[in-house]
Amino acid sequence: MLIGRARQRGGVRRIDPRLLAIAGAAFISVSAILFRLSGVSPGTAAFFRCALALPVLAPLALRERRRAGPRRRGAVDVAAGLLLGADLVLWGASIDRVGAGIATVLVNVQVVVVPLLALAVFGERPSRPFALAVPVMLGGVALAGGVAEHGTGTDPAAGIALGVAAGAAYAGYLFLTRVAGRGQEHRAQPVLLSTCGAGAMAVVIGAPWQGVDPAPGWAALGWLAALAVTGQVCGWMLIGAALPRLRAEEGGTLLLLQPVLAVVFGAAVLGERPGFSQIAGCVLVLAAVRLAGRRAGRRSAGRPEGARPPSPPGTVHRRDDSAARAIARSRMGART
């Protein structure tokens, strides 16, 4: 039984965390399409994507609790969820005021904020390739978001302020998720707690501001249920499993694939035809991700955050001292 549990716990850790982050970004990238198909307000979408995810997350979290025990740092998970709920509502509001393209760029300031937080709290210095790639990343995201094809919205100043606030909240969510997940095997429980926090914040902000429709209709509920499963359950469980095992700069960079994948899925599902600048932006983002992840990937690929790097040949660790002494004694006995 213990062996079976160990294998179950180690299953996710055997997967390259970069692949988990990319898969999570793919699930999250479908969110914009499902939100548009639902036809509801940002506050309504933020609330229902959380509420409809709870029946899926609760049994998974209960089973995980029986296997791995209660979740520590639950308060951090709830705090992260509050930031996520604020991000969802603020970003939706910024789209109407500044346009979808610029709003997408603003919310992705997380690629800069998360490494700065890691530097301030943990002393984790970003690599030079990452610093060089950041302007290319943001420029590529801007083009992929359609800045060159669309106007600036109805209220650019307010839209920029809301977008920056959404990006800061998103960065805080990612950072706290990474911190809370260090050294723990829980996957469903943190997402459940953060989803509760996000749903509560969506009501607190969205209800008085944009309104939360308690009965959006069966068709809308169907799209929102799909949004809950893909964006809230699958996406964040995969990302939550990946971030603690990646450097801050690498995790944030891989999540920039989200707008690129959104363009791809928009063309496949909604029949949208991206312009030349959007295609060029996608290429720039992919190139920047490759550049920024080159060194970080070699450092952390497949190794959990905080794990000891491979030692040089001939190095004997403390846990092997007893075995080394036994071998030495046997050799001395053979000589005498």
What pLDDT is recorded for position 209?
74
Q: In the predicted model, is pLDDT for residue 300 greater than 50?
A: no
Name which of 188, 184, 86, 102 is nearest 143 in CA terms: 102
In a domain, 327, yes or no: no
- Greater model confidence, 325 or 280: 280
∠ at Cα 166 (32, 78), nearest 5°?
A: 95
In a domain, 8, yes or no: no
Pick the range with the lowest mean pLDDT from 41-50, 160-169, 206-215.
206-215
Average pLDDT score over residue span 222-229: 94
Split at pLDDT 50, 70, 90, the class of 127 is confident
In a domain, 150, yes or no: yes
Q: What are phi and psi of 210, to 5 degrees?
A: -110, -15
Query: Do residues 92 and 40 lie in contact, with contact meaning Cβ atoms separated by under 8 Å?
Result: no
What pLDDT is recorded for position 80?
92
Q: Which pTM was predicted?
A: 0.74
Average pLDDT score over residue span 60-83: 87
pLDDT, tens only, 171-200: 999 899 888 877 667 788 889 999 999 999
Q: In the predicted model, is pLDDT for residue 321 greater than 60?
A: no
What pLDDT is recorded for position 11?
54
Average pLDDT score over residue span 68-92: 87
Query: Do residues 167 and 109 lie in contact, with contact meaning Cβ atoms separated by under 8 Å?
Result: yes
Range list of H helices, the chain: 2-13, 17-29, 31-38, 42-51, 54-68, 74-98, 100-107, 110-122, 128-144, 156-180, 188-209, 218-227, 235-242, 248-254, 257-269, 276-300, 321-335
Q: In the predicted model, is pLDDT for residue 224 greater than 90?
A: yes
Place of tokens 């509502």: 89
Average pLDDT score over residue span 104-130: 82
Query: Do residues 254 and 21 lie in contact, with contact meaning Cβ atoms separated by under 8 Å?
Result: yes
Query: Do residues 48 and 221 lie in contact, with contact meaning Cβ atoms separated by under 8 Å?
Result: yes
What pLDDT is recorded for position 336?
44
What pLDDT is recorded for position 148?
64
Name which of 208, 273, 257, 179 is nearest 20 in CA terms: 257
Split at pLDDT 50, 70, 90, the class of 219 is very high
The percent of the chain in helix, strand and coil, each rounded to the nearest 5, is 75, 0, 25
Q: In the predicted model, is pLDDT for residue 297 greater than 60?
A: no
In a domain, 324, yes or no: no
Mean pLDDT of the chain: 77
Pick the range with the lowest mean pLDDT from 41-45, 46-50, 233-237, 279-283.
279-283
In a domain, 321, yes or no: no
- Greater model confidence, 261 or 300: 261
Average pLDDT score over residue span 61-65: 90
In a domain, 113, yes or no: yes
Alpha carbon separation from 172 to 5, 62, 177, 204, 270 (Å, rounded): 33, 27, 8, 19, 32
Query: Do residues 216 and 40 lie in contact, with contact meaning Cβ atoms separated by under 8 Å?
Result: yes
Question: Rounded CA gap, 167 and 157, in Å?
Answer: 15
Q: Is 321 helix (H, G, I), strand (E, B) or coil?
A: helix
Q: Which domain holds residue 293?
A: 14-302
Question: Rounded CA gap, 168 and 160, in Å?
Answer: 12
Domain total of the chain: 1
Q: Is 260 helix (H, G, I), strand (E, B) or coil?
A: helix
Split at pLDDT 50, 70, 90, the class of 9 is very low
Average pLDDT score over residue span 41-58: 91
What pLDDT is recorded for position 293?
61
User: What number of CA atoms fall less than 13 Å from residue 23's CA on the CB side?
Assistant: 14
In a domain, 254, yes or no: yes
User: What number of CA atoms fall less than 13 Å from residue 99's CA on the CB side?
Assistant: 16
In a domain, 5, yes or no: no
Q: Tell me how long the chain is.
A: 336
Split at pLDDT 50, 70, 90, the class of 151 is low
Query: Do residues 141 and 285 lie in contact, with contact meaning Cβ atoms separated by under 8 Å?
Result: yes
Which of 94-108, 138-152, 249-263, 305-319 shows the highest mean pLDDT? 249-263
* Those residues with Cβ within 8 angstroms of residue 160's Cβ, 6 or more apart along the chain or in another chain: 94, 98, 102, 106
Q: Is 171 helix (H, G, I), strand (E, B) or coil?
A: helix
Split at pLDDT 50, 70, 90, the class of 157 is confident
